[in-house]
Structure 1
Amino acid sequence: MIRPLLWCTTLTIGVLFSISSVAQQKKKLPKINITKKNSPDSLNKKSAADSTKKSSLKNYSTLLKKARTTGGLFKVHQVETDYYFEIPLKLMGKDFLLVNKISSVPLAINEAGLNKGMNYENKVIRFYPNKLAKTVWVKTIVPQVESPKGDAITQSVKDNFTGSVIENFKIEAYSPDSSAVVIKVNKVFDGTEKSFNDVFTNIGLGTSPKSALSAIEQMKSFPGNIVVRSLLSTSVTEGQSSIPVSVAVTTNLLLLPENPMKPRFADNRVGYFSTPRWYFSDTQQKMETRELITRWKLEPKVQDRTRYLSGELVEPEKPIVFYIDPSTPPQWRPYIIDGIHDWQKAFESAGFKNAIQAKLVTDTADFDADDVRYSVVTYAASPKSNAMGPAVVDPRSGEILESDVIWWHNVMTSLQYWMRVQTGVIDSGARKNQFSTTQMGNAIRFVSSHEIGHTLGLKHNMGASAAYPVDSLRSQSYTSRMGGTAPSIMDYARFNYVAQPEDGVTNITPQIGVYDKYAIAWGYRWLDTQDPRKDLEVQKSWITQKQNDPLYHYGEQQSGLNVVDPRAQSEDIGDNAMKASTYGLKNLQRMVPQIENWAADPGDSYYQAGKLYMAAIWQWNTYADHVIANIGGYYLESPVAGDGKNAYTPVPKKMQEQALDYLKKQVFQLPEWLFKPALLAHTFAVKDTPLGPFEYGPYNLKREQQYGLMYSLVSDERLLRMLEMESVYGKDAVFTVSDLLSGIHKTIFKTTMKGASLSIDERLAQQNYVDVLLVGTDKLMEKLNKKTLQPARGPQANLPELCDLTPRAFRDEKTPVEKELRNVFVTSMARTSDVAPAKRGALMEILNLLQKKKNNGDQETQSHYNDLILRIKQNLKIN
């Protein structure tokens, strides 16, 4: 199976070297004498001389006598299989954005989640003519730096942030009036050169196109861009097999605006994707660094600006328009359109009406889904269950130039499992294998709205769901008034698993909420100024008005493997994970006995029932995971002077104690109702794999599920965070490492202390706990990893990315997702912290207990004790 590395945008990579490391290497570097002989100017002259000898300009009319020519941004000529650009000299030195997208894929990489419409590489380029050498050079630049034209430092900025040459074209001819040059461009689009398009490296295959099997299929020229479609072929060797791969790619060469949009500076209290910008000036005492939020250019028409500023809703000069892929099944189109139009209310909070629109593709003459002028909801026929909302951004200003939603067909399977497991008990329409069009359509509408939120520049707000009190989610009036499951659709709040059957709650699907309207207003409300710095005080005042209302709180996404702030988790709802999870378990306990009735009609196999059973088990796991995050958790804020907030606040001690109590009942003692023999007689839990469905035995599944949760509970990072808070606030004020380990010990070894025989589940819990402690102590003694050079953030590193819409039951946990997410750095030299003695102390306490009780209980219990004793002694090197 080919597994490409997927991303929506490509980072501009640079390497960060420390001054000290350069100094250490200074003596080892050979001395380089730069003289006129090898200066850039002399090289240009040499190149010009060589070119003059080897070639001469061709006659324009003769060269293009048989050409098919199209006009637009500049003329494109096709002479049989040769393609020429006629680039006006007035466009030399201008900024172009090179945008590469996938247009079609074979089965081999479709299965890995690479599909039509995905943007895999962007870069800013400029063309430069060299008349003496009769060539055109192409440079790529990182437009991250800005300085005033009249300042002395501006020359230094130009010298120290130059572009790099990536390509060279021979000038074939000049236009008849000498206002343009003609260059042959086949090599950068047919796979011969990778300077404009390195698709197989960017999607993770690491191969090169085979030129004999690759070709340009079509070129189009439009007023603001050139569109080139190519078929590029390669082969990938896996094991002893060679797999052919042909990918159609579309390259857009887009002329960026002469005057970039006025940027808006980011504030990490409102969740927008951003692109970095550095400002130099003569008046500074240090460089100014800013993040520019990514957003569309929405402005009132000139004649409407007075009305706009007086508070009247007006239509923007250029609305945001999304086209619906004609490949989209007709029954889902209205729901996807509704999901787009739902954002119109949010834009009204920014002063615009009809700001975002959705259109079906009818007879638009020059419509092309690959044309970067059109934003498209692209429907991908794929077994993958996901969706994403990437954007094409002008890195000079943060302006979103075009945006797409990639909609995988199988996203409906994820929606179905979530609804059945989370709400099937309270919603009879969410039970069977096949949903009604209305039931599925409303869920599609929610995903459409979420993904469109990304295309508008909004990040995930995983902290939004914590604003709703858990008990309020059981209130019919509250949920009807507030809508959905959280104040932001950009949370992964999913569906209302808290509401009980007797509550009568019907508004159980995520919707655009008050935070979303606030965030759109903050990012898009037009201000009549020319300097983004003048907007800062206004922007800050908008935040100040809402900063103490939890409905407007932004909680940045965190790594799912190391959640720091338990309020900002994926797939949780409510302000108390213990209470919410308890309600969720009640519904799950009602649902499990119904699995066969819901998923297997008479005559059906139990395959669907097995998959639904696996989803139920993982839902139980998810509830426990939400609870664990409270232990050793911090509430993270982004305070500013005067707002009275703290950056790091430990989760209250009582709440951490509640979390441990939940785990004692639901994890250390595995719930019997989840593994009922009646269901297991017909099916085990089933998970699809590339090799076919795997049926997981209950004992193995118990062991793996419990082990993973225990490992997370006593992870080094969690214990180190607890030690940090103990050092700041004192032992009596916080939930300590000792409190945690003592509580675990007393629960898991309760029966051992009584001297009674252990059940198989009790032995399993002890084996899992001892093993995570053993692994933890081994890990603490490992040598520190060698430090490596890290790539620098490019101007497009913080753009919308793949949404994780796959239920945990069916997710490939072995595929890491690298993200720049907020965390607290606590891992350096962990072996010198109190984590090591705490874990070893826990092992010694267990060892002493087992040695006293090793002759108690039945034969299985005694053998179990002796095994644990041997393991601990070997690990601690005790004879």
Structure 2
Amino acid sequence: MKEKAFLHSFITFCLFILLLVPVTAHSQKKKKDKKDSTEISKDSTDSKKGKKYDDLVKKGTVKKGLFNIIQVKTDVYFEIQDSLFKREFLVVNKLSQVPFQLNDAGLNKGMNYENKVISFYKDTIAKKVWVKSYVPKVSSPKEDAITESVKNNFAESIIEVFDIETKNNDSTAVVIKVNKIFDGKQKSFNDVLSNIGLGGSVKSEHSYIEGLKSFPKNIVIKSQLTTSFSEGGQSLPITLGVTSNIILLDKTPMKPRFSDNRIGFFTEKHWYYTDTQQAVLEKELITRWRLEPKKEDEERYLKGELVQPKKPIVYYIDPSTPKQWRKYIIEGVHDWQVAFEKAGFKNAIIAKEPTEQDLDFDVDDVRYSVITYAASQKSNAMGPSVVDPRSGEIIESDIIWWHNVMTSLQSWMRIQTGPIDPKARGNVFSDEHMGEAIRFVSSHEVGHTFGLKHNMGSSFAYDVESLRSKEFTAKMGGTAPSIMDYARYNYVAQPEDNVTVITPKIGEYDKYAIEWGYRWYSPDENETTKLNALITKHQNDPIYFYGEQQANIIDPRSQSEDLGNDAVKASEYGLKNLKRVVDNIINWTYDKDQSYYETGKLYMGTIGQWNMYNFHVMNNIGGVYLNPTVHGDNKKSYVPVAASMQKRAADYLVKNVISMPKWLFFNDILDKTNPLKDSPIGPYEYTAYTLSRDIQYDVLYKLLSDDRLLRMTENELYQGNKTTEKVFTVNDLFLKIHQSVFAGTLQNKSLSIMERTTQKNYVDVLIVSINKLFEKTDVKKAIDIQETLQMPHLCSLDDAHMARNINNTSLKRVAEVTSDKKGELYKVLQLLKMKKSTGDQSTKNHYLDLIQRIEKALNNTTF
């Protein structure tokens, strides 16, 4: 039984084994078949991907470069190498074409309207490419604990996402379709309408991608984008040509140079966090080109030899520039060579016309800095730059040169130099004379593209009398130590002085500023110490003074269009020359059988120049010299303008504004034409009576502005016991004006029309200052007249930061200025009541009118 049982068990075991073997073999075969199937499937997928990539390349065209650009009919694809993911790029957007409506509004080809730093991130799980952007203005050491917090609190933001369409054949790059960011469907890369102020959305059905270029470090995409704009109830189509550059930024940014408020450079703000600090450190990086010697020339450079930079700064002249002006624009750029030699570099800047060797030249390509010529009625020029915000490095600059800037140049030269220069008198200048003016503007604008701000205080370095010296002006080469000042032409020199050097040129401050900004220092040198030493060396010489541009003038040294260190004396010389201009306006503008259009324009320009002198002088009243100071320099930061100068300024205004100049407003020119100014609806004429009273009102309003009077009060309070010179007070100013405005009244005389007008203006200015019911209307009136008279300006690009903001106007209702103005009104009222029965009938009517106005204003005023 045991044997049978054993045999049965053995047979059963054998059968099991026999059955097991084929099952296992079958299982293994199934596994093998499954594996083969998987491999076939994988090979099939890879084949499909490769096939899709190959199909794209086969069907379309490929432009190789930073990103390979594949274009299949109207579809555009970027092939992005894996090595470029997480790298930083700068998107630079510019206008490349504008229609009439935008041209007329001052928008033109070449204008850079939007820049942003982006990075691409590959997401293999979601099969997408994410695009993120951030503001690169914050830094911290990698090893510091706070760095983690910096990353989390200044993180990137997602601005776009793309599906991965396919990979290239060796899987080292992915392909994405990018139409939506360039044809107007998405604003992530290019929000042109918001940035130029139109708003709204692009009509994608009327928009398209126009051109594609790819280069080793950048790509260029051009588009035509259409929107609509409502004007007068009518919807107008607006199509913009735009160019987007995507630039690969260096892995290691240029070493930044920190700004100093004693020298004027445009800046980029930056914040620094460290574990050891007790407060965040805010610094400003100056904007400048990366100018450095070649490796083999470093030792020679450090010994003081001039060397050629590793990479010079090159400007191209727009081929659309009229041929007769090209050489003057080029000369204006090359005039800066002497400044860069001061910094140790020769042949540092090049300006040239594009040649056949520049096969890829495109004015919209960010690799080329271009002086772009804009066909426009706008009379201006400006020099903006594209900057790497991480370091302040200037990557590219585009000077926008509006064709009509020559009208401004001609106006300046005729009015400011016509009395001393016969070449500057006619309706049309010779090419040579206009060319020299163009050269000056070229130098000024290219100075901005080196990073230099306006230095409005430069002209104050020269004594007014020295501007009448032929020898001095020839030696110094212009009207100020800096071409970055708005020190136009020499209006101080008189005909008998025989001064010939009357045009602004590169000056000593310009050379000094370029040396400070561009001198290269080796890693072993203490750059900060060297830069501070350079400033210290020059800090007591007024030639090297930097005066910031001001929105509202506090420091009268730093004014636009002024000359010399004494505004009263300079303006008095200017008036002598203006009288000569007025005497010759009709002769200088004579053109047989032509209208008096040029005569009227020159007449208006002359009035504008006279009014500019008024403000140059006025800003000394209540003025404060704002000195950029540091610990240890023993300088005062705030120095009130001397009382003697303020008195002289007030006397000038009494003589030349309160008593309106008859030679300017009531002369033989009015037999032929009124002053006129161009407007969108054609030449607009102003009668002399209307214009004169409007200008006088404007001057009086600004002379008695609250902030000016409050500065005078502050000076009286602070300086009263600190100086032997009597302070010029608010009451002194009111007394001087009162005695002049009411001189005829005090003498019981009948008043002329202009005397009555002056009294009305003065009373109305006081009323609007204490009665807010009238203030809104009359302030606008004051602004309008300034826009009418404003002399042409260059550089609509405002400086990044204006001068220091000083608050002295808070709680004006409880300041002395309100009492002073109200007290003056009471004084005027008492005088008028006492004199209301004197003079002729017109004078009596005038007094009764003023009495009623003042009583109503005082009764309606609540404090």
Structure 2 length-normalised TM: 0.90
The 8 Å contact of residues 564 and 823 in structure 1, kept in 2 or not, is answered as no
Cα distance in 2, alignment partners of residues 374 and 822 from structure 1? 36
Cα distance in 2, alignment partners of residues 856 and 614 from structure 1? 37
The alpha carbon displacement at 1:59 in A equals 2.9
Classify 1:549/1:474 alpha carbon distance in 2 versus 1 (closer, same or farther; 3 Å). Answer: same
Counterpart position of 1:490: 484
The 8 Å contact of residues 113 and 196 in structure 2, kept in 1 or not, is answered as yes
The alpha carbon displacement at 1:331 in A equals 0.5
The alpha carbon displacement at 1:590 in A equals 0.9
Cα distance in 2, alignment partners of residues 805 and 773 from structure 1? 23
2:70 corresponds, among 73, 77, 82, to 77
The 8 Å contact of residues 557 and 822 in structure 1, kept in 2 or not, is answered as no
Letter in 1 for 2:815: S
The alpha carbon displacement at 1:64 in A equals 3.6
| Alignment of structure 1 residues 511-530 onto 2, 5 Å | 511-529=505-523
The alpha carbon displacement at 1:260 in A equals 0.6
The alpha carbon displacement at 1:74 in A equals 1.5
| Cα-to-partner distance string for 1:11-33 (whole Å, 9 max, x where unaligned) | xxxxxxxxxxxxxxxxxxxxxxx
What's the secondary structure of 2:58's corresponding residue?
coil
2:204 corresponds, among 200, 211, 219, to 211
Classify 1:747/1:70 alpha carbon distance in 2 versus 1 (closer, same or farther; 3 Å). Answer: same
| Alignment of structure 1 residues 182-197 onto 2, 5 Å | 182-197=175-190
What's the secondary structure of 2:108's corresponding residue?
coil
| Cα-to-partner distance string for 1:99-120 (whole Å, 9 max, x where unaligned) | 0000011111101111110000
The alpha carbon displacement at 1:271 in A equals 0.1
Structure showing greater relative contact order (alpha-carbon pairs closer than 8 Å, 6 or more residues apart): 1
1:610 corresponds, among 600, 605, 609, to 600
* Residues 1:550 and 2:532 aligned together: no
Counterpart position of 1:62: 55
* Residues 1:822 and 2:804 aligned together: yes
Counterpart position of 2:501: 507
Counterpart position of 1:355: 348
* Residues 1:539 and 2:521 aligned together: no
The 8 Å contact of residues 549 and 802 in structure 2, kept in 1 or not, is answered as no
The alpha carbon displacement at 1:404 in A equals 1.0
Cα distance in 1, alignment partners of residues 643 and 190 from structure 2? 55
1:737 corresponds, among 725, 730, 734, to 730
| Alignment of structure 1 residues 292-311 onto 2, 5 Å | 292-311=285-304
Counterpart position of 1:700: 690
Classify 1:642/1:491 alpha carbon distance in 2 versus 1 (closer, same or farther; 3 Å). Answer: same
Classify 1:126/1:733 alpha carbon distance in 2 versus 1 (closer, same or farther; 3 Å). Answer: farther
Cα distance in 1, alignment partners of residues 710 and 417 from structure 2? 37
The alpha carbon displacement at 1:809 in A equals 4.5
The 8 Å contact of residues 650 and 734 in structure 1, kept in 2 or not, is answered as no
| Alignment of structure 1 residues 803-822 onto 2, 5 Å | 808-809=790-791, 820-822=802-804
Rg larger for: 2
Counterpart position of 2:780: none
* Residues 1:565 and 2:555 aligned together: yes
Counterpart position of 1:95: 88
The alpha carbon displacement at 1:782 in A equals 9.0
* Residues 1:669 and 2:659 aligned together: yes
Cα distance in 2, alignment partners of residues 713 and 538 from structure 1? 44
2:131 corresponds, among 134, 138, 141, to 138
Unaligned runs of 5+ in 2: 1-47, 777-785
Cα distance in 1, alignment partners of residues 153 and 792 from structure 2? 49
What's the secondary structure of 2:229's corresponding residue?
strand
Letter in 2 for 1:511: K
The alpha carbon displacement at 1:463 in A equals 0.1
* Residues 1:401 and 2:395 aligned together: yes
Cα distance in 2, alignment partners of residues 595 and 151 from structure 1? 71
Cα RMSD for the two superposed structures: 2.2
| Alignment of structure 1 residues 252-331 onto 2, 5 Å | 252-331=245-324
What's the secondary structure of 1:392's corresponding residue?
strand
Classify 1:828/1:878 alpha carbon distance in 2 versus 1 (closer, same or farther; 3 Å). Answer: closer
Counterpart position of 2:216: 223
Counterpart position of 1:43: none
Counterpart position of 2:42: none
| Cα-to-partner distance string for 1:14-58 (whole Å, 9 max, x where unaligned) | xxxxxxxxxxxxxxxxxxxxxxxxxxxxxxxxxxxxxxxxx9998
| Alignment of structure 1 residues 166-177 onto 2, 5 Å | 166-177=159-170
What's the secondary structure of 2:745's corresponding residue?
helix
Classify 1:598/1:203 alpha carbon distance in 2 versus 1 (closer, same or farther; 3 Å). Answer: same
The 8 Å contact of residues 386 and 805 in structure 1, kept in 2 or not, is answered as no
The alpha carbon displacement at 1:600 in A equals 2.0
Classify 1:627/1:58 alpha carbon distance in 2 versus 1 (closer, same or farther; 3 Å). Answer: farther
Classify 1:854/1:342 alpha carbon distance in 2 versus 1 (closer, same or farther; 3 Å). Answer: same
The alpha carbon displacement at 1:69 in A equals 0.3
What's the secondary structure of 2:483's corresponding residue?
coil
The alpha carbon displacement at 1:807 in A equals 7.9
Cα distance in 2, alignment partners of residues 529 and 752 from structure 1? 75
User: Which deviates more, 464-473 or 285-294?
Assistant: 285-294
Classify 1:225/1:856 alpha carbon distance in 2 versus 1 (closer, same or farther; 3 Å). Answer: same
Counterpart position of 2:758: 765
The 8 Å contact of residues 411 and 805 in structure 1, kept in 2 or not, is answered as no
The alpha carbon displacement at 1:63 in A equals 3.7
Cα distance in 2, alignment partners of residues 677 and 378 from structure 1? 43
What's the secondary structure of 1:125's corresponding residue?
strand
Counterpart position of 2:699: 709
Q: Tell me which protein shows more helix as a share of its residues.
A: 2
Letter in 2 for 1:224: K
Cα distance in 1, alignment partners of residues 709 and 697 from structure 2? 17
* Residues 1:234 and 2:227 aligned together: yes
Classify 1:611/1:328 alpha carbon distance in 2 versus 1 (closer, same or farther; 3 Å). Answer: same
Counterpart position of 2:109: 116
Aligned residues: 801
| Alignment of structure 1 residues 329-368 onto 2, 5 Å | 329-363=322-356, 364-368=358-362
Cα distance in 1, alignment partners of residues 787 and 561 from structure 2? 10
| Cα-to-partner distance string for 1:833-858 (whole Å, 9 max, x where unaligned) | 11111110111111110010111111
Counterpart position of 1:794: none
2:815 corresponds, among 823, 828, 833, to 833
| Cα-to-partner distance string for 1:149-183 (whole Å, 9 max, x where unaligned) | 22222111111110111111111111111111111
The alpha carbon displacement at 1:816 in A equals 11
User: Which deviates more, 734-743 or 425-434?
Assistant: 734-743
Cα distance in 2, alignment partners of residues 100 and 82 from structure 1? 21
Cα distance in 1, alignment partners of residues 700 and 775 from structure 2? 21
Letter in 2 for 1:724: E
Counterpart position of 1:42: none
Classify 1:123/1:770 alpha carbon distance in 2 versus 1 (closer, same or farther; 3 Å). Answer: same
User: Which deviates more, 759-768 or 343-352?
Assistant: 759-768
Counterpart position of 1:685: 675
Unaligned runs of 5+ in 1: 1-54, 784-803
1:439 corresponds, among 433, 450, 459, to 433
1:248 corresponds, among 241, 249, 253, to 241
Report percent identity of matched pairs: 59
What's the secondary structure of 2:771's corresponding residue?
helix
* Residues 1:468 and 2:462 aligned together: yes
Cα distance in 1, alignment partners of residues 751 and 544 from structure 2? 50
Letter in 2 for 1:827: T
2:379 corresponds, among 353, 374, 385, to 385
Letter in 1 for 2:598: Q
The alpha carbon displacement at 1:878 in A equals 7.1
User: Which deviates more, 610-619 or 177-186?
Assistant: 177-186
Cα distance in 1, alignment partners of residues 758 and 624 from structure 2? 28
Counterpart position of 1:872: 854
Counterpart position of 1:727: 717
Structure 1 length-normalised TM: 0.89
Cα distance in 1, alignment partners of residues 692 and 80 from structure 2? 66
Letter in 1 for 2:120: F
The alpha carbon displacement at 1:307 in A equals 0.7
2:646 corresponds, among 648, 651, 656, to 656
What's the secondary structure of 2:533's corresponding residue?
helix
| Cα-to-partner distance string for 1:63-91 (whole Å, 9 max, x where unaligned) | 44312001111200100000001111211
Letter in 1 for 2:266: F
| Cα-to-partner distance string for 1:712-739 (whole Å, 9 max, x where unaligned) | 1001111111112122112874211111
